[in-house]
A and B are shown apart, each in its own frame.
Chain A
C-alpha cells in the first residue's frame, strides 16, 4: 500500500485556470520530488525539496511553483494552465538516496 498520495488522479481543466496538484507522504521523508512524464515515457525533474522551506527547480524548466511548509506536504501549482501543460505529474519522496524513491500514483492533467 502506497505511503505517498497524489490527488486528483485525473484532471481536465480549461486554459487559464489555476490548479494545485496535491502530494502528501506519511513516511516522514525529508526529500521530495516532482517529475513531469511526457507521452514518450521519459521522466523530467521539475522541482525538488530537501526539507521544510527548501525548494529548488529541477532540470526541466517549468512554469509551475511548489511549496514545502510541512514535511509531509509538497503541492505543485500552475497559476494559468495551458495545453502545453498536459502531461502526467509524478511525486516522489526519499529518506536517503540509497533506499531509492517512493512514488505516488500520479496525476494525469489535461488542459483543453
Chain B
C-alpha cells in the first residue's frame, strides 16, 4: 500500500524568509512523488515531480523539492517566500511497484495551508 503524510496542517512564514512544507511517504517499491498547489476556489495545479534522477527537483514559481530516500521524505522548499505563495499544498505519491487495481492512482496527503505574512 502507498501512503503519504503531511505532518503540518498549517505553516506560517514571514515574507522573504525561506519556507519548507514537509512530506513523508511510504511505498513498497520506488516512488513517483508530486507537489500540487491549490488557490482558493480553484483546482489543484501541478508544481513539480520526482520520477528518477537528480534528488533536487525544480518546479514552477521558484519552488523546489528534495527527494530523500533514506528518510522517505520529499519536502517542498522555496528560498524566499512571497505573499502570493499563500495557498494549500498537497503532496502525492504513486508506488512504482504497485501493479494492482489502484496502480493508476495517486495517493494525496491531507494538505498543508501555507500563510505568508507580509
Contact = CB atoms under 8 A, between A and B. Distances in A.
A12 to B, nearest CB: 14
B83 interface: no
A43 B44 CA distance: 11
B44 to A, nearest CB: 4
Given A103-B43, A105-B43, A108-B41, A97 B105 contact: yes
Interface size class of A (residues with CB under 8 A): 20 to 34
Given A43-B90, A108-B41, A102 B46 contact: yes
Contacts of A41: 88, 110-111, 113
Pairs A-B, 3 closest by C-beta atoms: A103-B43, A41-B111, A103-B44
B104 A101 contact: no
Given A41-B111, A97-B94, A100-B46, 10 more contacts: A2-B43, A9-B41, A40-B110, A42-B111, A45-B105, A92-B43, A92-B44, A100-B34, A105-B42, A106-B43
A93 to B, nearest CB: 11
Interface of B: 32, 34, 36, 41-46, 49, 51, 88, 90, 92, 94, 103-106, 108, 110-111, 113
Nearest to B44: A103
Contact of A104 (B43, B104, B106): B43
Given A97-B32, A97-B94, A98-B32, A106 B42 contact: yes
Interface centre among B36, B92, B104, B108 (most CB of A within 10 A): B104
